Amino acid sequence: MSALKLAPLLLALPFAASGASADAGSVQALQCGHLVDTVQGKLLDAHTIVVKGTRISTVQAGHAPVAGATVIDLRDQTCLPGLIDSHTHLTGETSATGGTDRFRLNVADHAIRSTIFARRTLEAGFTTVRNLGDGSNISVALRNAINQGLVPGPRIFTAGAAIGSTGGHADDTDGLRADLQGDPGPKDGIINGVDDAWKTVRQHYKDHVDLLKIMPSGGVLDESASADNPQMTVEEIEAIVKAAHDYGFTVAAHAHGAEAIRRAVIAGVDSIEHGTFMNDEDMKLMKQHGTWFVPTIIAGRYVAEMAEKPGYYLPQVAAKAGAVGPLIQQTAGRAYRAGVKIAFGTDAAVYPHGQNAKEFQYMVEAGIPAMYALQSATTHAAQLLKKDKDLGSLEAGKLADVVAVAGNPLDDITRMQNVRFVMKDGVVYKQP
């Protein structure tokens, strides 16, 4: 394609250009019809958010003029902090051909696709994500490219390769014929014992990840028989947590089974992901230890739906998906009523990227108040990330991550599925 033919296409792109960054001296005034105060849990009337460079300068009531500012008219919108998804996988996506894709697609294919998934996620209003597991450190490269302004996407905190045991949910060679299995080890995130645990944490540090993700229980979308059996010992988990803290990492634990949840909590992990078969004892322990719960209801709903489609999953995967999927939403409601701390997360990739906000609807259906659901994706998720000084609320000094929706999402939480305005670090990526 000639340069002349390409130019109009580039001008038509809806996103900010690659390399976009806020001018340090630029001032923007976002005039919001309403504003969600996620700290106080209140919906406020008209407010103006003044952004200078990459950060919020002031948040003031009304729509008073701001000298020298570029005005962004959101007076028919409700403004919220940029949303945070605490559980994503931006380097892949569900597909009926998933079983064969791993033999046909190259690392480069996944890397290129990840830029599309990142863009969809940002456009959906999620300006920050935790990426909890991928291969070949693609998410590390994606994070760096986004930070450098080369591609549009959310702010990524990545765990790199998930950590688990031989034959467990993190072992990607499970289900392969014997001559293809090899013997994955700590360098690949597969451990068997305490020494391996320390080695894999150090390897992850070498790989420049931001946090760790472990697999102490079985999972749904692997070829093993069980979704909930414990697959790591308490000693192994304790070793990972101790090593993680030496290197400044938090630890997220994929866990469906009650015993795996118990082991992970007493070993000191920061969050439990999925938690399908969480029992009353687990909930009590999580409250005692201050452990966060990330339910991922949308993933459960989606896999249960796909399990009804002949051939979409392998038979053993479909059986697990049909059994586990419908329970996650019930568990989320029980955990909320029990007082367990909840942070928003979706397991994006298990369902198509960009649909993250459906999780809000499913949380409300589970009996979780709309405001709490919004806080789970803002103040709560920021606390889980230990980034609440910069993220999670619209306050002076915080990073200028702002999204807006039409109408009042507290009256109709499905409005969150149609985010109309997205600003990240003071740069507008989507506008009505």
- Share the mean pLDDT of the chain: 94
Kindly state whether residue 383 falls inside one of the protein's structural domains.
no
Does pLDDT of 1 surpass 90?
no
The count of domains in the chain is: 2
189 contact partners, CB below 8 Å, separation of at least 6: 160, 161, 162, 163, 164, 170, 200, 204
Kindly state whether residue 7 falls inside one of the protein's structural domains.
no
Kindly state whether residue 382 falls inside one of the protein's structural domains.
no
Of 122-126, 140-144, 219-223, 265-269, the least confident: 219-223
pLDDT for position 19 = 55
Does pLDDT of 170 surpass 90?
no
The rounded distance, in Å, linking the Cα atoms of 145 and 158 is 13
Mean pLDDT confidence for 57-80: 96
264/141 same-domain check: yes
Residue reference for tokens 């905190």: 157
Q: What is the pLDDT of residues 357-382, one digit of tens each?
A: 999 999 999 999 999 999 999 999 99
Mean pLDDT confidence for 181-197: 93
pLDDT for position 339 = 98
pLDDT for position 331 = 98
* % residues pLDDT > 90 (the chain): 86
261/403 same-domain check: no
The DSSP string of 217-265 is B--SSSSSS-SSSB-S-HHHHHHHHHHHHHTT--EEEEE-SHHHHHHHH
Kindly state whether residue 269 falls inside one of the protein's structural domains.
yes
pLDDT band at 183 (very low <50, low <70, confident <90, very high): confident
70/133 same-domain check: no
pLDDT for position 8 = 35
Mean pLDDT confidence for 294-313: 97
Q: What is the pLDDT of residues 212-269, one digit of tens each?
A: 999 999 999 988 889 999 999 999 999 999 999 999 999 999 999 999 999 999 999 9
Does pLDDT of 17 surpass 50?
no
Mean pLDDT confidence for 336-342: 98
138/284 same-domain check: yes
Does pLDDT of 5 surpass 50?
no
Does pLDDT of 114 surpass 90?
yes
From the list 362, 351, 367, the residue with the least C-alpha distance to 297 is 362
Does pLDDT of 3 surpass 50?
no
Mean pLDDT confidence for 315-332: 95
Of 68-82, 115-129, 160-174, 406-420, the least confident: 160-174
126/177 same-domain check: yes
Does pLDDT of 417 surpass 80?
yes
CB-based contact 153:427 (threshold 8 Å): no
Q: Structural domain of residue 70, as residue ranges?
A: 14-82+394-430
Mean pLDDT confidence for 172-186: 84
CB-based contact 94:302 (threshold 8 Å): yes
Q: What is the pLDDT of residues 96-113, one digit of tens each?
A: 988 888 889 999 999 999
67/103 same-domain check: no
Kindly state whether residue 280 falls inside one of the protein's structural domains.
yes
Alpha carbon of residue 249 to chain centroid: 17
149/175 same-domain check: yes
Taking the whole predicted model, whether its pTM rises above 0.85 is answered as yes
3-state secondary structure of 156: strand
The rounded distance, in Å, linking the Cα atoms of 155 and 129 is 6
Does pLDDT of 16 surpass 90?
no
pLDDT for position 14 = 45
The rounded distance, in Å, linking the Cα atoms of 101 and 288 is 43
Residue reference for tokens 């105060």: 37
> Which run of H or of E encompasses 371?
helix 370-376
